[in-house]
Amino acid sequence: MKDIIKKIIDTLFENIPFSKKSEEVKLHIQHQLESQFQDDIKNHTLNDLQLLAEQTQTLELACLKAGYSEEEISTFLFHQSILHKKDIQSLLKKQRKYILLETLLDASFVSIIFSYLLSFQLSSILFFVIYASVIIKLIRYVKKKRIAHSHIIHQICCDQEGRQLIESLHDKYVKKEINMFFINSAFLASLFFTLTYSIIASSYTAYDIFQQLFYHSTLIELCLFLTLKNIRFRHLFAFFFPKEKNNEFLIHLKKVLLYSGCFWTLMIILLFLLKNVVSYIFNVFIVILIIYFISLLIHNLLYRKQFVFQNIRLNIKRCLIISISVFVFSIYQIMSLDIYMTQPYINTLSKIQREEDQINYNDENGVYTITTNKDDFKILQLTDIHLGGSILSFSKDIKALKACEKLIRATEPDLVIVTGDLVFPMGIMSFSLNNRAPVMQFASFMRNMGIPWAFTYGNHDTEAMSVITDEQFDDLLKSLSYRSSQNLLYPYIQPDIYGRSHQLIEIRHQSGQLMQALFLMDSNDYIDGGKINEYDYIHDDQVEWYKKKVKQLSQDEGHTIPSMLFFHIPLQEYREAYELYEQKSEEVQYYYGEIGETMIDKICASNYPSRLFDTAKELKSTKAMFCGHDHYNNLSLEYEGIRLTYGYSIDYLAMPGIEKDTKQRGGTLITIHQDGQFDIDPYRLIDIK
């Protein structure tokens, strides 16, 4: 009977203008008729239905039956002004500005308090009080305007098209408010778990906690802004409908919050119970997060329809945009994840038993000095290892690490120098944007191998879309460097010149003699604003730094020091020497290797000339240069008194089909003698038994 009465009342009100008053009258009539026919609901007799039909033939009869007087009915049925959809949209546009401005000011006020509490300084208390007072006055002013304009909106009377607009806006913000409370619960739970876990696992100090809260403050303020905005908009449109509907919604919202609170309390307890059982506890947290949002989806399909006029509104354009956005965001998040799938293999590695050299670091100039008692000091150059660090690159990452292990065990070097492109955060090509986890894993790999190593940047190590920037990459390597690892020789201070990292490593005999000065220079990545793969070069201030260091060290030693240069992208002189070699010129001397690249530019040097080679010739110190970059090139030539050598590459990932190619893969062993002379020997992986 209730459904029948509701349908009859809806039919009677089809042509009545929509307003707050009309909705109240409509609900009152429905309740009165339901009350009068309450005793007959179970019978459903023909007489009951006939009586109901007779008493509700017209809206006037229904109103009289519900207890309204004729004067009240005439006031209710006739309205002087009826607004149309466009008029309502114009009113709502102004109200929207007030709500957004007030909400923004509220969020700003919370942000001020939050920031002040996290970085409490007595000196700034006056500024804080003045700023907060101004914000509070603005909030009061805008709130007064919003409430005044709300009264105007709440007095409107509109046609059915206007009613549909108000109903759709009511539904929109009911949905947003529910979803926002779900999202807030998940965000706060994840923040609480992350901080608590960090305190337990990493001995976080109060300062570290404040730093983390400050780091997440923008997200907290955004969540607050969106929540307040949705509540105010929903409250604006809920006014047009019966209070019972709003009260039922608020009761349900409390149940949602209770469910979320209980869910996350139990899940966080479970996570802490599993933290010593499961290797990657945050992966479990992600699974729990997925389960939680599935429960949100179920809620929206089953329960939300009780509080909206139309639960699902299919908008193909919006669905397509949301689907694409969710897909792109999900792919980005997956590509950005720290994945440590190679760690179990790394953990099995045993340290190479060798006679260790003495390593010292100078805090004033950033120079590492390796002092050896051996007559021959061995350096293994590895280049273009290209670790992807993703699930899809896992098998190739393992192959790359095993190739490095095989080369290190075969050559037993005293030092490993990686000349760039250690990682490959190239999105779809490696299914990863992460250049953090692979570096940490390689550092762990080298620490387990027990060999000191150094690093020069390549063009791929800090790509534009990478998870960490140049500065963060630099900070990461410093955190992994010698003071903590006793293994990575990465300088804690950098010269104030172009590029990401430059360093000098001295190789000295225990007698004090300088066997070699190793210069590790950044050949940079891409020209700013240039085309794709338009490579940068070693700039003039970098060359000047190298020149100054050579002269200073030569002066200290009393003679021209022997030195070597390591960088990633080849100089233009590599191309000049190769062209002369092809012409069978006597200006170059061939040692070994080939140019195996099949692209138009077989030698991918920068189009911009660098002064480095000419400066090296002028100084007469550097007798050998080593680079990488071109994976199939491993030629070694002497040109104008300087040995130009391409290192054998490791890459299994970056170039299509390279995983199956074998003859270009390996390392380059540099043996430095006590008198400063050296030998360079190629080590192909396929030749090592």
Per-residue pLDDT tens for 199-256? 776 555 666 666 666 666 778 888 889 999 999 999 999 888 888 888 889 999 999 9
For the segment 319-323, the average pLDDT, to the nearest whole number, is 80
Distance, CA of 637 to CA of 588 (rounded, Å): 6
- 435 close to 476: Cβ distance less than 8 angstroms: no
Distance, CA of 266 to CA of 257 (rounded, Å): 14
| Residue 29 CB neighbour total at 10 angstroms | 24
Backbone angles phi, psi at 561, to 5 degrees: -75, 150
- Write out 21-69 in H/E/C secondary structure: HHHHHHHHHHHHHHHHCHHHCCCCCHHHHHHHHHHCCCHHHHHHHCCCC
- 454 close to 505: Cβ distance less than 8 angstroms: yes
Full-model pTM: 0.63
- 624 close to 564: Cβ distance less than 8 angstroms: yes
Q: Which domains does the chain have, with CATH numbers?
A: 2-77 (no CATH), 85-313 (no CATH), 374-687 (3.60.21.10)
Per-residue pLDDT at 80: 57
Q: Give the side-chain half-sphere CA count within 13 A for 116.
A: 17
Q: What residues contact residue 38 under an 8 Å CB cut-off, 6+ apart?
A: none
- 650 close to 403: Cβ distance less than 8 angstroms: yes
Per-residue pLDDT at 123: 55
Q: What is the length of the chain?
A: 689
Tokens 């105007």 belong to which residue? 152
For the segment 350-376, the average pLDDT, to the nearest whole number, is 94
Distance, CA of 276 to CA of 286 (rounded, Å): 17
Distance, CA of 165 to CA of 296 (rounded, Å): 26
Distance, CA of 152 to CA of 131 (rounded, Å): 32
Read off the DSSP letter of residue 648: P
Q: How far is CA 617 from CA 132, 416, 529, 547, 620, in A?
A: 65, 26, 32, 11, 5
What six digits make up the tokens of 123?
């000196």
Q: What residues contact residue 496 under an 8 Å CB cut-off, 6+ apart?
A: none
Distance, CA of 442 to CA of 167 (rounded, Å): 58
Q: How confident is the model at residue 52 (pLDDT cuts 50, 70, 90)?
A: low
Distance, CA of 502 to CA of 543 (rounded, Å): 11
Per-residue pLDDT at 571: 97
Q: Is the pLDDT of residue 456 over 90?
A: yes
Q: Is the pLDDT of residue 2 over 50?
A: yes
Distance, CA of 110 to CA of 116 (rounded, Å): 10
**DSSP labels for 78-143?**
--S--B-HHHHHHHHHHHHHHHHHHHHHHHHHHHHHHHHHHT--GGGHHHHHHHHHHHHHHHHHHH
Q: Mean pLDDT lowest for which of 250-254, 531-535, 539-543, 674-678?
A: 531-535
Distance, CA of 190 to CA of 293 (rounded, Å): 13
Q: Is the pLDDT of residue 390 over 80?
A: yes
Q: Is the pLDDT of residue 530 over 60?
A: no
Backbone angles phi, psi at 611, to 5 degrees: -85, 5
Greater pLDDT, 10 or 436: 436
For the segment 137-147, the average pLDDT, to the nearest whole number, is 90
Q: Mean pLDDT lowest for which of 69-78, 123-132, 290-299, 375-384?
A: 69-78
* Nearest Cα residue to 40 out of 2, 12, 10: 2
Distance, CA of 400 to CA of 404 (rounded, Å): 6
Largest CA-CA distance found in the chain, in angstroms, rounded: 121
Q: How confident is the model at residue 532 (pLDDT cuts 50, 70, 90)?
A: low
Q: How confident is the model at residue 50 (pLDDT cuts 50, 70, 90)?
A: low
For the segment 253-263, the average pLDDT, to the nearest whole number, is 93
Distance, CA of 514 to CA of 558 (rounded, Å): 11
Q: Is the pLDDT of residue 45 over 60?
A: no
pLDDT digits (tens, 9 = 90+) for 600-620: 778 999 999 999 999 999 999
Greater pLDDT, 74 or 507: 507
Q: Is the pLDDT of residue 428 over 80?
A: no
Distance, CA of 550 to CA of 539 (rounded, Å): 17
Q: Which long-range contacts (CB under 8 A, 24 or more apart) does 139-142 make?
A: 139/102, 139/105, 139/106, 139/109, 142/98, 142/101, 142/102, 142/105
Per-residue pLDDT at 508: 96
Q: Is the pLDDT of residue 79 over 70?
A: no
Q: Mean pLDDT lowest for which of 71-85, 246-260, 350-364, 540-554?
A: 71-85
Q: Is the pLDDT of residue 403 over 70?
A: yes
* Nearest Cα residue to 459 out of 544, 407, 530: 530
Q: Is the pLDDT of residue 331 over 60?
A: yes
Per-residue pLDDT at 366: 94
* Nearest Cα residue to 181 out of 269, 264, 286: 264
Per-residue pLDDT at 577: 96
For the segment 25-31, the average pLDDT, to the nearest whole number, is 76
SS3 443: helix
Distance, CA of 335 to CA of 677 (rounded, Å): 46
Cα 148 to chain center, whole Å? 43
Backbone angles phi, psi at 61, to 5 degrees: -60, -40
Q: Mean pLDDT lowest for which of 62-66, 229-233, 522-526?
A: 62-66
For the segment 425-440, the average pLDDT, to the nearest whole number, is 87
In the chain, pLDDT over 90 holds for what percent of residues?
A: 53
For the segment 501-512, the average pLDDT, to the nearest whole number, is 95
**DSSP labels for 601-640?**
SSS---SS--SHHHHHHHHT-EEEEEE---TTB--EEEET
- 170 close to 237: Cβ distance less than 8 angstroms: yes
SS3 653: coil
**DSSP labels for 256-278?**
HHHHHHHHHHHHHHHHHHHTTT-
Q: How confident is the model at residue 124 (pLDDT cuts 50, 70, 90)?
A: low
Q: How far is CA 427 from CA 329, 390, 461, in A?
A: 13, 10, 13
CA end-to-end span of the chain: 89
Read off the DSSP letter of residue 304: G
Instruction: Name 504's bridge partners.
Output: 519
Q: Is the pLDDT of residue 29 over 60?
A: yes
- 371 close to 510: Cβ distance less than 8 angstroms: yes
> 591-623 burial, b if ≥16 CB within 10 A, otherwise e?
eebebbbeeeebbbbbeeebbbbebbeebebbb
Greater pLDDT, 337 or 615: 615
In the chain, pLDDT over 70 holds for what percent of residues?
A: 90
Per-residue pLDDT at 402: 96
Q: Is the pLDDT of residue 46 over 60?
A: no
What's the mean pLDDT when you consider all of the chain? 87
Radius of gyration of the chain from Cα atoms?
37
- 395 close to 352: Cβ distance less than 8 angstroms: no
pLDDT digits (tens, 9 = 90+) for 558-583: 999 999 999 999 999 999 999 999 99
Per-residue pLDDT at 565: 98
Tokens 């105010």 belong to which residue? 232
Greater pLDDT, 95 or 220: 95
Per-residue pLDDT at 410: 96
